[in-house]
Amino acid sequence: MSLKVKIIAHTPNPEEVVAQAAKLCYSPVGVDGIMEKLTPEKIESFVNNLASIGHESPFEHVSFTFAVEGISRACSHQIVRHRIASYSQQSQRYVKEDGNFEFITPNIINEMGPLAWQQYERDMKTIHDMYLRWQKDIKEFVEETDYPTNGMNAEKVANENARYVLPNACETKIVFTMNVRSLYNFFSKRCCNRAQEEIRELADEMLKQVKEIAPILFKNAGAPCVRGKCPEGKMTCGRPKI
Ligand X SMILES: Cc1cc2nc3c(=O)[nH]c(=O)nc-3n(C[C@H](O)[C@H](O)[C@H](O)COP(=O)(O)OP(=O)(O)OC[C@H]3O[C@@H](n4cnc5c(N)ncnc54)[C@H](O)[C@@H]3O)c2cc1C
CB of 46 to ligand X, least distance (A): 23
Taking the complex as a whole, the smallest distance from the CB of residue 190 to ligand X amounts, in Å, to: 6
34 vs 195 by CB, closer to ligand X: 195
User: How, if at all, do strands 86-89 and 4-10 pair?
Assistant: unpaired
Please identify which of the residues 83, 190, 194, 239 carries the catalytic annotation.
Answer: 190
Mutual orientation of helices 114-144 and 154-162 as an angle, nearest 10°? 140
| Cβ closest to ligand X, residue 45 vs residue 236 | 236
- 190 is a catalytic site residue: yes
Q: How far is the CB of 218 from ligand X (least distance, A)?
A: 17
CB closer to ligand X out of 131 and 176:
176
Binding site for ligand X (CB under 6 A): 81-84, 182, 185, 189, 194-195
Whose Cβ is closer to ligand X: residue 55's or residue 82's? 82
Closest distance of CB 83 from ligand X, Å:
3
Is 72 in contact with 103 (CB distance < 8 Å)? yes
CB closer to ligand X out of 24 and 226: 226
- Least spacing, CB of residue 178 vs ligand X, in Å: 8
| Cβ atoms of 234 and 34 closer than 8 Å | no
> What phi, psi does 241 have (nearest 5°)?
-75, 135
133 contact partners, CB below 8 Å, separation of at least 6: none
Q: How far is CA 143 from the centre of its chain?
A: 38
How many Å apart are CA 144 and CA 154, to the nearest integer?
10
CA-based Rg of the chain, rounded to a whole angstrom? Answer: 23
CA–CA distance, 90 with 82 (Å, rounded to integer): 18
CA dist 196 and 211 (Å) reads 22
How far apart, in whole angstroms, are the C-alpha atoms of residue 26 and residue 176? Answer: 32
Q: Residue 6 carries which DSSP code?
A: E
Residue nearest to ligand X (CB): 83
Rounded Cα–Cα distance for residues 237 and 133 (Å): 44
> Which active-site residues does the annotation give?
190
